[in-house]
Structure 1
Amino acid sequence: MNDQSIQSAAKISLATGAAIWLALAAPAHAGDKVIYGDAPEWVDKVALSRVNVESDPSALIYDWQHRLENGVVSEYADTAIRIDNPDLLMEHGTVTLAWLPDKGDLTVHQVQIIRGAEIIDVIASGAQFDVLRREQGLEQRLLDGQLTATLAVPGLQVGDILRVSHTVTIADQALGKEMQSSQYLVPAPWQVGFSRAIVSWPEGTDVYFGAEDFARLPQPVTRDGYRTLTVSLPIAEPPEMPGDAPSRFNRDPILRVGTFADWQELSRSFAPHYEKAAKVADDSAVAAKAREIMAKTGDPLERTALALRLVQDEVSYLLNGLDGGNYMPQSAAETWEKRYGDCKAKSVLLYSLLSRMGIDARPVLVTTMGGDALPELLPIPGNFDHMIVHANVGGTDYWLDGTSTATRLTNIGEVPAFYYALPLSEGGSGLVPMTQRRQPWPDMVMDLTSDYSAGVDFPALFTLKMSIYGARGAGFRAAADEADEDKLKQFAQGFSTGPGGAVTSVTLEYDDEAAAGVLEVKGVMPGDFTWRDGRLRLSSDQSEQYNFNPDRARSEWRDIPVFTPGPQYNRIAATLILPEGLEGFENTGPESIDTGFANTTLKGVTRHVGNKVTYNVDVWQDLGEVPASELPAHKRKVREINSIKSELLAPENFAWRWEFDAKELARRTAPLVEAYDKAVAFASSDDWGPLSQRASFRAQIFDWKGVLEDLDTLIENQPSANLYSWRGAVHEALGNREAGIADAQMAYDLDPASAYAFSLAEMLAYAGKRDEALELLDSLPVGDDEEGSFASTYATVAGLAGRTQDALEVLSRQVAAKPTNASVLNADCWFRGLFDIEAEGAMPTCTKAIERASNSAPMLDSRAMVSYRLGNFDAALKDLDSALELAPNLSASLYLRGIVRLEKGDKGGRVDVERALRMAPELAARYAAHGVAPRK
């Protein structure tokens, strides 16, 4: 914490805090000009000799003194800062002081520069403070009435000591003779030479004080007819608290002082101002509005909702802190006439309307942060920063915030997260708990439809509709009115790079009656079905979705409860449209769930009717706490919920996309092709995501010329090594070897990664440029984790160059060095099978590779090649079937299986060959180079 923040944060004084809603005290003469004069007689001045100006921290003196007397609060501050470096010179070179001119005065006592033995009186030298009205918050509709006095200290240098002292007086029009003050008690490890906080008041005045327990306040002493409380600073460092503890455990140490005996007295002192402000004549415009509402409906709750909507929608927000406005409310009539007001003005207007309609209502004070601590605090107005209205309709409590927005009958029953309210009653009232209850209407509904009509291994058309209700959704209103197409396209770009998917349209609307912002996104996304354990399945795995693992291991934390945020209610609805006529889908997991943990409740239902599967889940998160004693049970519950696994399994007899002929494939994918084309057309000029995704989709449906077309455009606009490598592979698939090599070379030139080098070397070798390929491989620096791939590539290239002995030596060295490495073992097995060299001795190595592999499909394929070379077609078929069971899209295995089946006289092998070449046309030439080809 630096000195500047100490100077501002440490003085959390309700008298001068512009950011705090309420100011203080009783009527007094006030001024909008800086007064220059001596410190009050009651001030206990600190001599600079109290500190060691050479060795103490740069914060030499921070002295705060408060006097409460006759309805006036005076706050004195004295600081001395040693300017040790240019940063401190920049930080303290301008002195800034603030006050509320309608409530009191700012008196500057001294501004001194102490330079060794020399003392320079800055004010006496002719410097004066400039006075500015602070209006930084006007863009947020804040006008707090605060003035700021600033002084750029002339002549201040590094090495000087800057000493400033001043007093601000506050007499609030709303409080009469009542007083309050507040002081932040800076804790260790703050470094300061001398610091303290003093509060004093006349001996006969009833003044109450309090602070957090760990602050350990001393007892006041009586001197010269005044009770004086002195706190040395910094106070002891507060005990460390867990971050998930309720806010009352983590609150700042603040000394609160006031003349209110209890909450009831505070309530009584405020109530008359608000009762008076709420009264309107029968022929007033406010009364007329109340009659209009009553004419629309006889239902008291509907009337309440209409009155609240009127205040929210037709009266704009403006915090008016001028002329006593911090506590004194604007009248209901004036608020309606001006059509603006702060939380007090809006609450008074709403209170007036409800009272005219005979609805039991009352303005209440609340705090928007840390409300759970209110019962533990000294009763002063400064504990509150907001006002709302409490209404009781039909025996139910409603908490109505005129400064909020988009409240309707559906959400009027929501209870804000304020914990407690103080009703303003002429008879006085204590704090009232704002008891939470389950929200009847969601804050957000997300509805996702995924259309897999083309097939379960294809991308899916999707429609995502998000409806956000109430205040959270009100922000959509302005965006919907603007209908900015560029912003919608920017959202689409973020969607494609975030959640994934190519967006074809984005619409944004606001439903004023439902108070809902509605975002709808349409497009096409990669399929979520994955092949695992011999089945294609779509998983909704809960694993790690919910996290609740609070730390209460420390003995001093054992009894501290855990805070749970809220209230919030979200609904998620998902619909899957499955291919027509494809029967046999299986749902695993429960059809319904009704569970929860730590003030979170989950209810879900799964339905499967025809070709549609629907999932509906409601999640409530309630504001509250979990006692420490219940934490183990809730942790176990979370583990139980996260262990729920629900999957949709495709039937075993479904057809893969490569199993369809060209005509059927075109029919099924026509809607997807159209969607990708729309997404490319919809995208922003700098968004290449949809085009890249279309290229990937075209590869999935074996439209190689289309892939090439998209890659040409992508490389022209955003070239990269990956794109060149991809296009090189497509050229090779189409038989354009020279073009493929050129692209592979460009990829390697742009990024000399080993993977690009291996690809280029193999392409060169198969094109007959074996010496170039070997030269490239010989020049590579190969990492330890790349040696298996290097050995395989080198062996292939060397074998094509006729240097089979070199290939075997490289492979032998690798196997000897890494005898359990599946990749290395597989390289040796594959080479011997592909080149038909010493195939008889390869089988043990092949089997060991399979045993060591985490994914054994490539190893099974290699062993099948060895079995094929040995003429053991049955063994080869067995391994190829196993490989394809693990990885059905392994085109090389499918191709070899077709060849083996044809060798055995099974004409069905021709179908395998055709499907394999549909996926990977380059296989024919590559395998033919090794004498492996389908029997004619």
Structure 2
Amino acid sequence: MNDQTILPISRTSLAASAAMAIILAAPANAGETVLYGPAPDWIDAASLDLIDVEDAPSTLIYDWQQRLEDGVVTEYEDAAIRIDNPELLMDHGTVSLSWLPDKGDLTVHRVEIIRGDERIDVIDGGTEFEVIRRERGLEQRLLDGRLTATLAVSGLQVDDILRVTHSVTVDDQALGDEMQASQYLFQEPWQVGFSRAIVSWPENEDVYWRAEDVAGIEPPVVKEGYKTLTVALPIDELPDMPGDAPSRFSRDPVLRVGTFADWQELSRAFAPHYQVAAEVADDSAVAAKAREIRAATSDPLERTALAVRLVQDEVSYLLNGLDGGNYMPQSADETWEKRYGDCKAKSVLLYSLLSQMGIEAIPVLVSTRGGDAIPELLPIPGNFDHMIVRANIDGTDYWLDGTSTATRLSNIGDVPAFFYALPLPVEGADLVPMMQRRKAIPNMAMDGTTDYSAGIDFPSLFSLTMRISGPQGASLRAAADEADEEQLKRFASSFASGPGGALTSVALSYDDEEAVGILEVEGVMPTEFTWTDGRMRLSSDQTERFAFNPDRARPEWRDIPVRTGGPQYTRINATIVLPDGMTDFEATGDAVIDDGFANTVIYGKRSLDGNVIRYDVDVWNDLGEIPASNLPAHKRKVRQLNALKSEILAPEDFAWRWEVDSAMLARRVKPLLEAYDAAVDFAADDDWSPLTQRASFKAQIFDWEGVLTDLDTLIANQPSAYLLGWRGGVHEALGNREAAIADAQAAYDLDPSTYLALNLAELLAYGGQRDEALELLSNLPVSDDEEGSYASTFATVAGLAGRTDDAIAALEEQVADKPTNASVLNADCWFRGLFNVQPEAALSSCTKAIERATNSAPMLDSRAMVSYRMGDYDAALSDLDSALELAPGLSASLYLRGIVRLEKGDKAGRTDVERALRMAPELAAKYAMHGVVPKD
């Protein structure tokens, strides 16, 4: 069958709508020459006199009329378009008409320009159409044999009416005396002056018709010895249907007419052509190939798999619609000799090979789109757009597609999503359902390892292998063969695992024997452990992972089932390596899940072996549908599955990276540094992300000089306000205040935002340039949302400049204006504590800030500073412990806690101070300016 010309009817542009009827027939004197003459005498010609031309849409007439008689189908089209604008002039300035010359003739009846009362006959006087072979699909290996006649309409102007009338006859060699016709029925709100579809046939011939009930077609009437169906277009707009309804509920309205009484008759009409085409001599090359396969194995299923692979891999695809090829198949011998063919040719070759090996098989017609509607349609060939082979081995049906790829013994049992098939035995057959079965091997299998050996608060090394089987995997073969390093690097950049991820290698290969595309990726990525509720935890929260929420709220939708996609099978194996020596990790949640919803089945299990946790999950998505009555139960099941939560909980006493001594830290992070170095080397020349991630990691391990080196390189190649601001902070940590101010100024020059201005002002103030800082702030435009931050920075700068009263006044104004704003209240609290100005008056603001904050750790730190100034060390220590419980990496709180502990005579305070200064070395100088220093 012709994979291009007998696709199911679908909406097309009006310009192509004349070809919407899939009429496969041919005249007695078929040829490649355009004929000119009057319309057939049975035509009921449309008249412009019945239309208000001035007020009608630009499409004045679209009239389709078809007649089925004596094995020939004639399609007549009359189109009149008013050229309202230059765009329409361009669209219709050339007339194009297509036909299949081996099946019939194209006859042009009229090409006319109507200009007011004047009628200009464009083809009068010898003007003719130019004929070209239309092979628009050659790049997709499509050769349909269609010819196109074109005519540039000389003299056509805006405001003219162009009227073109023609007919095409079709007599398909494969159908004999049988006929078929299909007509798409345009719906409201299509705008047209006059349109209709008429189909007629002799009243004594057995012709059948069917259309969707919603189209409202009246039965045919007899006119002058012909049964005639007449449909006024556009028909009423079809009821809206949910997008997840099965195809049979939302198919386009099509009038189908044919001479096949049932599916068996259609099957019998087709079968002889395919039986004959599959016959080969014993000494033929096809028979020899069958013998080779028989010699290779005695297992009929293995033989079948080898035959399918032979047809898929050694015969290229070429749709050949020439010389009756739409339905007439190429012979098996010819297909093997030419090594190309369409779905019919490949199916015939496969059928021949299997028959030679004594394997029960038969070609079958299928529809690749909307196949669930086939049983409801009138039996005509145009319902099908593809051909495959059904083989039966030990009582099991196998559906074999010679035009697909990557079929192997492991996946030969997969059932395509075509729903129904029409077998083509000589005795004929009815439609048979293509019963689905669960896929035996995954479409995609992913095996990933995440290695936290360095520590759970460090980035992790990861490796990921994806094995993609079948046709999807075969699509990777060309990319694997190319093996272009730069292309892989670009791919790596887009594939990086989440924010902050960097890849060290990407490999792409294809296993031809297994028909599997293999993608292997290695790299480094940020930790997925988070500090929540006082524990480091790795969560596999399922929230919103599964979705099933079909809408059936409308009364007219309540009985419509829901379509489920498939068949699909996904396998995920995830391994998590935890640090050696760390014990007492806890795994929460069910160790096994065996559940599902709406034709989705999920099986997963978790296992723990020493410091290795493994998750194995299989998910099957099965093709089918869910009755509307079952939807509430499936929705509840999805909510239950999404509510599942499992976690890995770290020991409560695990050591943070700033708590690890330098020598051990260096040993633990060595593999991570090597990975970041490899990622930088692997990255494409214009990809600076890995270098940025390496700089960030060096900051995590307190290698400030290393951070500075990487930032220097980044800024030299892609300067930005963000990077300059970051480098300024590193300079400050290293005690390079002048360099810090310079970078902050450069960042502000590039991006004069409030945030960068406030940062620069504070650096200037702590660097002794208080007047410059105050001047910067005095000229700064500030939005209402930024006033709290502005007041805090202004107070700090003013305080350092000795203008304490101005600072207090600005803060009091903000508190009065925003008495419940946690940020504003905290600014007041922090300033009074840091500058030791009426600290006792700050407690109220401090407490209110804590009560109103989403994250109260900074507010607790501020109140601790106030308590420290007041000499209430126990209160300060309590708040600092609480702040560090919420945010263990809050270096300022750790530093102050060390100072408070030392004041209380607790020598552990020295450890707190040292650890805080590892994280933020600038704290010592900054706090010292306010008299907050560790006790000797």
What whole-Å deviation, never above 9, does each CA across 1:780-823 have from its counterpart, x for those lacking one? 22222222211111111111111111111111111111111111
Comparing 262-271 with 662-671, greater Cα deviation is found at 662-671
How far is the alpha carbon of 1:829 from its aligned partner? 0.4
Q: Which runs of 5+ in 1 are unaligned?
A: 16-23
What does residue 22 of structure 2 align with?
14
What does residue 18 of structure 1 align with?
none
Amino acid at match of 2:681: A
Q: Give, in whole Å, the separation in 2 of the partners of 1:499 and 1:771.
A: 41
How far is the alpha carbon of 1:733 from its aligned partner? 0.9
What does residue 42 of structure 1 align with?
42
What does residue 868 of structure 1 align with?
868
Q: Give, in whole Å, the separation in 2 of the partners of 1:670 and 1:208.
A: 79
What whole-Å deviation, never above 9, does each CA across 1:700-734 have from its counterpart, x for those lacking one? 11111111111111111111111111111111111
Residue 585 (structure 1) aligned with residue 593 (structure 2): no
The two structures have a TM-score, normalised by structure 2, of 0.98
What does residue 121 of structure 1 align with?
121
Tell whether the 8 Å contact from 1:314 to 1:339 is kept in structure 2 after alignment. Answer: yes
Comparing 85-94 with 274-283, greater Cα deviation is found at 85-94
Residue 168 (structure 1) aligned with residue 151 (structure 2): no
What does residue 686 of structure 1 align with?
686
Residue 332 (structure 1) aligned with residue 332 (structure 2): yes
Q: Report matched runs for 1:786-825 at 5 Å.
A: 786-825=786-825
Tell whether the 8 Å contact from 1:11 to 1:184 is kept in structure 2 after alignment. Answer: no
Amino acid at match of 1:914: E
Residue 657 (structure 1) aligned with residue 657 (structure 2): yes
Tell whether the 8 Å contact from 2:446 to 2:571 is kept in structure 1 after alignment. Answer: yes
Amino acid at match of 2:910: R
Tell whether the 8 Å contact from 1:25 to 1:177 is kept in structure 2 after alignment. Answer: no
How far is the alpha carbon of 1:7 from its aligned partner? 3.1
What whole-Å deviation, never above 9, does each CA across 1:42-71 have from its counterpart, x for those lacking one? 111112112111111111000000011111
Tell whether the 8 Å contact from 1:27 to 1:176 is kept in structure 2 after alignment. Answer: no
Q: Give, in whole Å, the separation in 1 of the partners of 2:918 and 2:446.
A: 39
SS of equivalent residue, structure 2 residue 61: strand
Amino acid at match of 2:766: Y
What does residue 19 of structure 1 align with?
none
Tell whether the 8 Å contact from 1:26 to 1:176 is kept in structure 2 after alignment. Answer: no
Tell whether the 8 Å contact from 1:477 to 1:517 is kept in structure 2 after alignment. Answer: yes
Tell whether the 8 Å contact from 1:574 to 1:616 is kept in structure 2 after alignment. Answer: yes
What does residue 300 of structure 2 align with?
300
How far is the alpha carbon of 1:29 from its aligned partner? 2.4
Q: Give, in whole Å, the separation in 2 of the partners of 1:401 and 1:685.
A: 44
Over 6 Å off, 4+ runs: none
The 1:689–1:875 alpha-carbon spacing in structure 2 relative to 1, beyond 3 Å, is: same
The 1:174–1:475 alpha-carbon spacing in structure 2 relative to 1, beyond 3 Å, is: same
Q: Report matched runs for 1:295-374 at 5 Å.
A: 295-374=295-374
How far is the alpha carbon of 1:191 from its aligned partner? 0.9
Q: Give, in whole Å, the separation in 2 of the partners of 1:772 and 1:879.
A: 36
The 1:498–1:95 alpha-carbon spacing in structure 2 relative to 1, beyond 3 Å, is: farther
Comparing 838-847 with 669-678, greater Cα deviation is found at 838-847
Comparing 74-83 with 151-160, greater Cα deviation is found at 151-160
Q: Report matched runs for 1:195-214 at 5 Å.
A: 195-214=195-214
How far is the alpha carbon of 1:3 from its aligned partner? 12
What does residue 3 of structure 2 align with?
none
SS of equivalent residue, structure 2 residue 13: helix
Tell whether the 8 Å contact from 1:3 to 1:59 is kept in structure 2 after alignment. Answer: no
Amino acid at match of 1:720: S
Amino acid at match of 2:51: V
What whole-Å deviation, never above 9, does each CA across 1:375-424 have from its counterpart, x for those lacking one? 00000000000000011111111100000000111111111000000000
What does residue 885 of structure 1 align with?
885
What does residue 674 of structure 2 align with?
674
Amino acid at match of 1:168: V
Amino acid at match of 1:8: A
Q: Give, in whole Å, the separation in 2 of the partners of 1:344 and 1:500.
A: 51
Q: Give, in whole Å, the separation in 1 of the partners of 2:18 and 2:694.
A: 59
Q: Report matched runs for 1:602-621 at 5 Å.
A: 602-621=602-621
Tell whether the 8 Å contact from 1:496 to 1:690 is kept in structure 2 after alignment. Answer: no
Select which of 4, 9, 13 maps to 1:5.
Answer: 13
How far is the alpha carbon of 1:510 from its aligned partner? 0.3
Q: Give, in whole Å, the separation in 2 of the partners of 1:30 and 1:175.
A: 16
Q: Give, in whole Å, the separation in 1 of the partners of 2:17 and 2:848.
A: 69
Tell whether the 8 Å contact from 1:496 to 1:689 is kept in structure 2 after alignment. Answer: no
Q: Give, in whole Å, the separation in 2 of the partners of 1:913 and 1:125.
A: 103
Tell whether the 8 Å contact from 2:497 to 2:525 is kept in structure 1 after alignment. Answer: no
SS of equivalent residue, structure 2 residue 446: strand
How far is the alpha carbon of 1:602 from its aligned partner? 0.5
What does residue 190 of structure 2 align with?
190
Q: Give, in whole Å, the separation in 1 of the partners of 2:868 and 2:113.
A: 95
Amino acid at match of 1:721: A
What does residue 59 of structure 1 align with?
59
Q: Give, in whole Å, the separation in 2 of the partners of 1:444 and 1:388.
A: 25
Tell whether the 8 Å contact from 2:18 to 2:64 is kept in structure 1 after alignment. Answer: no
Q: Report matched runs for 1:391-430 at 5 Å.
A: 391-430=391-430
Q: Which runs of 5+ in 2 are unaligned?
A: 1-9
How far is the alpha carbon of 1:502 from its aligned partner? 0.7
What whole-Å deviation, never above 9, does each CA across 1:546-572 have from its counterpart, x for those lacking one? 111111011000000001010000001
Tell whether the 8 Å contact from 2:26 to 2:104 is kept in structure 1 after alignment. Answer: no
How far is the alpha carbon of 1:508 from its aligned partner? 0.4
Amino acid at match of 1:219: P
Amino acid at match of 2:518: V
Amino acid at match of 1:270: F
SS of equivalent residue, structure 1 residue 132: strand
SS of equivalent residue, structure 2 residue 541: coil
What does residue 911 of structure 2 align with?
911
Residue 378 (structure 1) aligned with residue 386 (structure 2): no
Comparing 781-790 with 882-891, greater Cα deviation is found at 781-790
Amino acid at match of 2:197: A
Q: Report matched runs for 1:189-588 at 5 Å.
A: 189-496=189-496, 500-588=500-588
SS of equivalent residue, structure 2 residue 127: coil
Q: Give, in whole Å, the separation in 2 of the partners of 1:629 and 1:726.
A: 59
Amino acid at match of 1:237: E
Q: Give, in whole Å, the separation in 2 of the partners of 1:130 and 1:587.
A: 76
Amino acid at match of 1:203: E
Tell whether the 8 Å contact from 1:26 to 1:175 is kept in structure 2 after alignment. Answer: no
What whole-Å deviation, never above 9, does each CA across 1:847-895 have from its counterpart, x for those lacking one? 1111111110000000000011011111111111110000000000011
How many residue pairs are counted as aligned between the two chains?
A: 927
How far is the alpha carbon of 1:773 from its aligned partner? 1.1
Q: Give, in whole Å, the separation in 1 of the partners of 2:641 and 2:201.
A: 59
Tell whether the 8 Å contact from 1:10 to 1:186 is kept in structure 2 after alignment. Answer: no
SS of equivalent residue, structure 1 residue 166: strand
Task: Compute the RMSD of aligned alpha carbons.
Answer: 1.3
What does residue 753 of structure 2 align with?
753
Q: Give, in whole Å, the separation in 2 of the partners of 1:612 and 1:497.
A: 21
Amino acid at match of 1:152: A
What does residue 21 of structure 1 align with?
none
How far is the alpha carbon of 1:41 from its aligned partner? 1.1
Comparing 122-131 with 209-218, greater Cα deviation is found at 122-131
Amino acid at match of 2:844: P
Tell whether the 8 Å contact from 1:679 to 1:690 is kept in structure 2 after alignment. Answer: yes
Q: Report matched runs for 1:824-863 at 5 Å.
A: 824-863=824-863
SS of equivalent residue, structure 1 residue 842: helix
How far is the alpha carbon of 1:9 from its aligned partner? 4.2
How far is the alpha carbon of 1:267 from its aligned partner? 0.2
Q: Give, in whole Å, the separation in 2 of the partners of 1:242 and 1:10.
A: 30
What does residue 900 of structure 1 align with?
900
Comparing 824-833 with 216-225, greater Cα deviation is found at 216-225
SS of equivalent residue, structure 1 residue 729: helix
Identity in percent = 73
Tell whether the 8 Å contact from 2:25 to 2:104 is kept in structure 1 after alignment. Answer: no
Amino acid at match of 1:654: F
SS of equivalent residue, structure 1 residue 206: coil
Q: Give, in whole Å, the separation in 1 of the partners of 2:14 and 2:636.
A: 44
